[in-house]
Amino acid sequence: MDFLEKVYFQSFPGPIRKGDLKRYEIIKTAISVLATEGVDGIAFDQIAAKLETRRSHISYYFSTPQDLFTAIFQYITATAQAITVEDIKKAQTPRERIRAVGTGALRWVKAHRDQAQVILLLQFMFSYDPALKKMNTGIRQIGRERLQSLFQLALGRQEGTEALAGELQLLLTGMVVEAMSTAQSSQPDFKAILENFLGRCLPEASR
């Protein structure tokens, strides 16, 4: 079982069934279609053609496109979090743990570019689909709370840490957008930007 399969199936309580594997195949294929053809190519017919199966097989597992988009977003989010957790576990200091959140995000973009492309497409859908917007809001709120707890540990105080967590989250979001929507030659040094942020918000003693 490779890394992505482990990410997808880690929350399954029992043995993996044939239907679980089929859902995973559909989600992976849908991500590929979205990354190469955009939202216009995500009809169940296109996914079925890629998998060499019938449209009814897709709709059996995902009754509506929104159900599929929800599963895709949850899977991509889990992948990005798994990579970030790997980096955080290697960190030795509070500063390194906060840095790991940033380096993990950048490592995810580099390793899973198709997922990052799909996230940009989904961001537009979040702007008008209430259910998807609610889910995205909840996930980002959890992310900010986790960042805030890391800043509290690093700084030894609660004051101002909520704002710092929000600033870093917005910074990382901007980095992902910049990395995916501009030519590589014109992109800034993301690691330098991250280090500059850490240098501004964390005193020497917390590093």
* Radius of gyration, CA atoms only, the chain: 19
Scanning 38-160, the segments in alpha helix (DSSP H) are 44-51, 55-61, 65-90, 94-111, 113-126, 130-155
181 Cβ neighbours under 8 A, 6+ residues apart: 120
Q: Which amino acid is at 39?
A: V
| Domain boundaries of the chain, sorted by first residue | 13-63, 65-207
3-class state of residue 13 by DSSP: coil
Q: Are 155 and 133 in contact (CB under 8 A)?
A: no
Q: CA–CA separation, 22 vs 10, rounded Å?
A: 16
Question: What sign does the dihedral 191-79-50-131 (CA atoms) show?
Answer: negative
CATH number of 13-63: 1.10.10.60
Q: What is the pLDDT of residue 112?
A: 92
| pTM score | 0.84
72 Cβ neighbours under 8 A, 6+ residues apart: 27, 30, 31, 34, 118, 122
Instruction: Report in angstroms the alpha-carbon separations of 74 from 39, 61, 67, 78, 164.
Output: 18, 16, 11, 6, 25
How would you write the pLDDT of the chain (207 residues) with one tens digit per residue? Answer: 566 667 666 655 566 777 788 888 999 999 988 888 876 656 788 888 888 888 888 889 898 888 888 999 999 999 999 999 999 999 988 889 999 999 999 999 999 999 999 998 888 888 888 988 998 999 999 999 999 999 999 999 999 999 999 999 999 999 999 999 999 888 899 999 999 999 999 876 444
CATH number of 65-207: 1.10.357.10
Q: What is the pLDDT of residue 12?
A: 54
